[in-house]
Structure 1
Amino acid sequence: MNQQIGVLMQFDVPILFVLFNRPDLARQVLHQIRQVQPRELFVSIDGPRPNHPTDAERVAECQALLDEIDWPCSVHRLVQHQNLGCKKAVSTAITWFFQQVEMGIILEDDCLPDPSFFTFCRENLHYHRHNATLMHIAGVNFQRGQWHGDGSYFYTKICHVWGWASWRRAWEKYDVAMNSYPVFREQNRIADLFTDPKVQQYWIEAFDSVLAGHVNSWAYPWVYTIWINNGLCICPNRNLVTNIGFGGEATHTRDNRESLANLPLQPLDEINHPAFIIENVLATEYSSNHYFKKPGWVTIKTESLKRRLGLKN
């Protein structure tokens, strides 16, 4: 099935726009949102941090951006008066969003989409609406020009969150506390997902770091949720979103020399659905070998952490 991509006169899929203290970046993303003029826009803004003198002003500037919405649109606001931090603020916002909509698109303030990203998400949200195996639609492509499969996108275990979409049915499974993780770790279930020990180590160290509070991430629990539910992610064969937020003010992407910073946008002119809903193992292995193989944090092996996770050994 081929689906032509074009800008809709009034975009009918709700969008969640997640903001904090970067109004200059947020204005660029809002400009792209304006291109499709969604009927419903949900905006979440985290509160200023204590002892960060510029936060209050910048958060206020982000709130003022909503006055620039100049198309017919129902705007829903979730404004925090105190800072919740990345993990709690974003996960709370997404839960709030899916309590009100069945499916939708999520954009953070540093994720700049091509206009075709919106219709790519819309088509796949409807096409896979009732398939519980599909849990996540990504907007980025880090395959460096490789085209995988016979469609405009492929299926993978790898979950990228720089511009994405999902369904209430999937997010309802989300557990930010990762309550089942101690058993997952003790049974070494990561080996059922990846055969390379170095890839296994990367993810175990990442999950350990989240549980220990060393990494303030909502996204790793989402990855974990998808995997323990045998879920798959959709990834486009062209890069539809670029991250413009690398630098010193970012939460996780501080080094603007990173190879994934400011990747060029590559519009999709049409959507050709793959013939089979089967993981593209070559694409998953490429991502794993290039981005998720070297441990990102120091391995945590303390007895206190093991007790916290309920591990025996």
Structure 2
Amino acid sequence: MSDFRLKTPVAFIIFKRPHTTERVFEAIRQAKPPKLFVIADGPREDRADESEKCKATRAIIDRVDWECEVIKNYSEVNIGCAKRLPSGLDWVFNQVEEAIVLEDDCLPHSTFFQFCETLLERYRYDQRICTIIGQNVQLGRKRTDYSYYFSIYNRCWGWATWRRAWQNFDFDMKLWPEIKESRFLDDILIDSKSVKFWQQIFQDTYDGRINTVWDYQWTFNCWLQNQLSIVPNNNLISNIGFGNNATHTKHTKGRFVKTYANMPTEPISFPLKHPPYIIRDLKSDRFMQKTFFEYGNLLTTIKSVIKKRIMKTESKT
């Protein structure tokens, strides 16, 4: 690892959490990317203290002390996570062909950067691959003897991609009605329970009932191209952002948080042991669908129902 010198640009998404931003920034600082794109949303008008938190978070970027071109895309008004991140990545990929992407609560292991850069180069022109992710949620289960495997699922907790893949991103999911009518999810997901789950997710996203995310659209558009994600056999990312200050990972208790918050990372060895084939690991995907997506979505649904009942009760009093 000592001989590795990162050449790939890093896109760093920040907002209002200086405590997590500082830790991720330090990991980036150790990797010393030659080019750092910083994407920041603006404070919300109805949050009195948010302006100062945004300023404190942005001030961390001014600490860059290595040879690096820092390019900032700071919004002075709040656009919202769903639109801010895709618009920021559009800006990044208008300037570079590939990038490593980290949000302000995704703390990478030091080997994450070399893992991404090695595979960005290896699969640069391979249209079968859409993204390289750093998070492994197999909970210690090793599916192959190789350094990584292939999945239909992508995750945004530390990842990398190319302009050639990102250019397919369509926030509005214009093709969803056709895909739904043609029942193509049956061909992609195979089992009926997973089809039902993702059909509801995509319909709610398309209809605007889920309006705080962008990664469901990213998954949908990768599936449209029949593309796979690369997943390391070791977990390289720890999400340190669970809590009340988070946008999506607000849960602070329960099995999901205990399992996925602050997951330990471990180094991946180099040179990488590349699989001699590009085939989806169905067993891994089924495990992830059941333990990560379905369970996590159940918690969100329960929380939403409880919140609505509380609001309904309060309105009657």
TM > 0.5 fold call: yes
Secondary structure (helix, strand or coil) at the match of 1:277 reads coil
Q: Provide the residue aligned with 2:146 in structure 1.
A: 151
Scaled by the length of structure 2, the TM-score of the pair is 0.89
Q: Provide the residue aligned with 2:31 in structure 1.
A: 36
| Pairing 1:227–2:227 present | no
Of 89-98 and 192-201, more deviation after overlay is shown by: 192-201
Scaled by the length of structure 1, the TM-score of the pair is 0.90
Deviations 1:216-272 (A, max 9, x none): 111000000110100000000000001000111111111133121110011112211
Q: Once the 2 structures are TM-superposed, how far is the Cα of residue 187 of structure 1 from its aligned partner?
A: 1.8
Rate the CA distance shift 1:131–1:114 in 2: closer, same or farther, 3 A.
Answer: same
* 8 Å Cα contact 2:43-2:51 kept in structure 1: yes
Deviations 1:261-297 (A, max 9, x none): 1100111122111111111111111111222335547
Secondary structure (helix, strand or coil) at the match of 1:68 reads coil
| Pairing 1:263–2:263 present | yes
Q: Provide the residue aligned with 2:286 in structure 1.
A: 285
Rate the CA distance shift 1:9–1:276 in 2: closer, same or farther, 3 A.
Answer: closer
Secondary structure (helix, strand or coil) at the match of 1:191 reads helix
**Alpha-carbon distance between aligned partners in 2 of 1:167 and 1:219, rounded to the nearest angstrom:** 16
Rate the CA distance shift 1:180–1:238 in 2: closer, same or farther, 3 A.
Answer: same
**Higher RCO (CA 8 Å, separation ≥ 6 residues):** 1
Unmatched runs of 5 consecutive residues or more in structure 1: 1-5, 299-313
Q: Once the 2 structures are TM-superposed, how far is the Cα of residue 159 of structure 1 from its aligned partner?
A: 0.8
Which residue of 182, 187, 205 corresponds with 1:192?
187
**Alpha-carbon distance between aligned partners in 1 of 2:43 and 2:209, rounded to the nearest angstrom:** 21
Deviations 1:117-163 (A, max 9, x none): 00000000001111011111000000011112231000010111100
| Pairing 1:202–2:203 present | no
Aligned length: 293
- 4+ runs deviating over 3 angstroms: 7-10, 293-298
Secondary structure (helix, strand or coil) at the match of 1:175 reads coil
Q: Once the 2 structures are TM-superposed, how far is the Cα of residue 212 of structure 1 from its aligned partner?
A: 2.4
* 8 Å Cα contact 1:8-1:36 kept in structure 2: no
* 8 Å Cα contact 1:156-1:281 kept in structure 2: yes
Q: Superposition pairs for residues 121-140 of structure 1, below 5 Å? A: 121-140=116-135
**Alpha-carbon distance between aligned partners in 2 of 1:127 and 1:166, rounded to the nearest angstrom:** 12
Q: Once the 2 structures are TM-superposed, how far is the Cα of residue 7 of structure 1 from its aligned partner?
A: 4.5
**Alpha-carbon distance between aligned partners in 1 of 2:290 and 2:275, rounded to the nearest angstrom:** 24
Amino acid at match of 1:282: K
Of 56-65 and 288-297, more deviation after overlay is shown by: 288-297
Q: Provide the residue aligned with 1:66 in structure 2.
A: 61
Over the residues paired in the alignment, what is the CA RMSD in angstroms? 1.4
**Alpha-carbon distance between aligned partners in 2 of 1:42 and 1:130, rounded to the nearest angstrom:** 23
| Pairing 1:119–2:120 present | no
Q: Provide the residue aligned with 1:305 in structure 2.
A: none
* 8 Å Cα contact 1:17-1:106 kept in structure 2: yes
Q: Superposition pairs for residues 294-309 of structure 1, below 5 Å? A: 296=298
| Pairing 1:98–2:79 present | no
**Alpha-carbon distance between aligned partners in 2 of 1:287 and 1:7, rounded to the nearest angstrom:** 34
* 8 Å Cα contact 2:4-2:114 kept in structure 1: no
**Alpha-carbon distance between aligned partners in 2 of 1:8 and 1:175, rounded to the nearest angstrom:** 39
Secondary structure (helix, strand or coil) at the match of 2:126 reads coil
Q: Provide the residue aligned with 1:108 in structure 2.
A: 103
Deviations 1:142-187 (A, max 9, x none): 0011112231000010111100000000001110110000111122
Amino acid at match of 1:38: P
Give the fraction of aligned pairs with identical amino acids, expressed as a percent. Answer: 35
Q: Once the 2 structures are TM-superposed, how far is the Cα of residue 196 of structure 1 from its aligned partner?
A: 2.2
Q: Provide the residue aligned with 2:78 in structure 1.
A: 83
Amino acid at match of 1:238: N
**Alpha-carbon distance between aligned partners in 2 of 1:56 and 1:281, rounded to the nearest angstrom:** 45
Deviations 1:54-92 (A, max 9, x none): 110011112111211111100000000110101100111
